[in-house]
Amino acid sequence: MPGRMEGRVAFVTGAARGQGRSHALRLAEEGASIIAVDILENYDSFDYQLATDDDLASTVAQVEALGRPIIARKADVRDLAALTAVVDEGVKEFGHLDVVCANAGIVTIQAWHDVAPQVWTDTIDTILTGTWNTMVATVPHLIDNGGGSIIATGSTAAIKGFPYGAPYVAAKHGVVGIARGMAIELAPHSIRVNTIHPTGVDTNMAPYAFEGVARMEEKGHLTPEARQAMEASLGNLLPVELVDARDISNTVLYLASDESRYVTGLELKIDAGSTL
């Protein structure tokens, strides 16, 4: 039986690991051909390891093991020319583009007065400008295709307050703004634009977030009372601390498929009740 994405082509940013890899695999499982990018470099302003060449190679191997083709390249979402070149290459190879997953992101956990200017800039440029660049690079192909689906990765931090992550919260709120505007602007072209809003996800970023909390405690920025308030604001109602990346990918699949053909401008939460 044909999969729900049979004959379709999906572009995924931040695809070397984490949610990006999971999205690429889930769409490939349902028949999609994949165009994938990741930065494959660390940021000087961030003290955790980003994806590597080996990570992206593993994504390629796993997609190919599903019998689906993939074009995977090193590209920084902050670089519009680089993104456009990869998208153009993929469309030339596969013939068209149907789905866009603007997923790439970074996160920092620190008190507002510890946020260095470069941390602010890198976070906004990656999450917010990176989402915009992804749309700019892909929308002409979606128009040529007669329509398609754009899925931008938000966060519960795009819906409510989120302590000790001001650059991340600002960027994710901005992603929702871009998506709302583009959903209206692109509707005449049968292009749907939606955002997804996960709670904490069990990826490589999760340990870094926990380490960030520990560092703030060591510096005395997070008193026991402040930590209790933070946990209350971030906790899930359902009895789970972190959800699986595949839980988010199943939502991506829904928004990419014809099952959501009249769904646009939606902010879809996979948050275990954390925003209630």
Structure-block tokens of residue 53: 């060449």
The active-site residue out of 43, 48, 164, 168 is 168
Q: Distance between CA 211 and CA 205 in Å, rounded?
A: 10
Answer for the pair 164, 216: CB distance below 8 angstroms, yes or no: yes
251 alpha carbon, distance to own chain's centre: 12
**Burial group, residue 224, by CB count within 10 angstroms (0-12, 13-18, 19+):** exposed
Per-residue tokens: 225: 């009372």
Phi-psi region of 67 (alpha: psi -120 to 50; beta: other; left: phi over 0): left
- Active-site residue flag, 164: no
Distance CA 185, CA 63 (A): 33
Q: Rounded CA gap, 51 and 256, in Å?
A: 25
Question: Could you tell me the strand order of the sheet in which 9-13 lies?
Answer: 70-74, 33-38, 9-13, 99-102, 148-153, 191-198, 267-270
For residue 197, give the nearest of 163, 152, 237, 230 by alpha carbon: 152
- Phi then psi for residue 196, to 5 deg, are -115, 145
C-alpha span between 129 and 59 (Å, rounded):
25
Can you spell out the DSSP letters for 4-28? TTTT-EEEEESTTSHHHHHHHHHHH
First-last CA distance in the chain: 39
Catalogue the active-site residues.
168
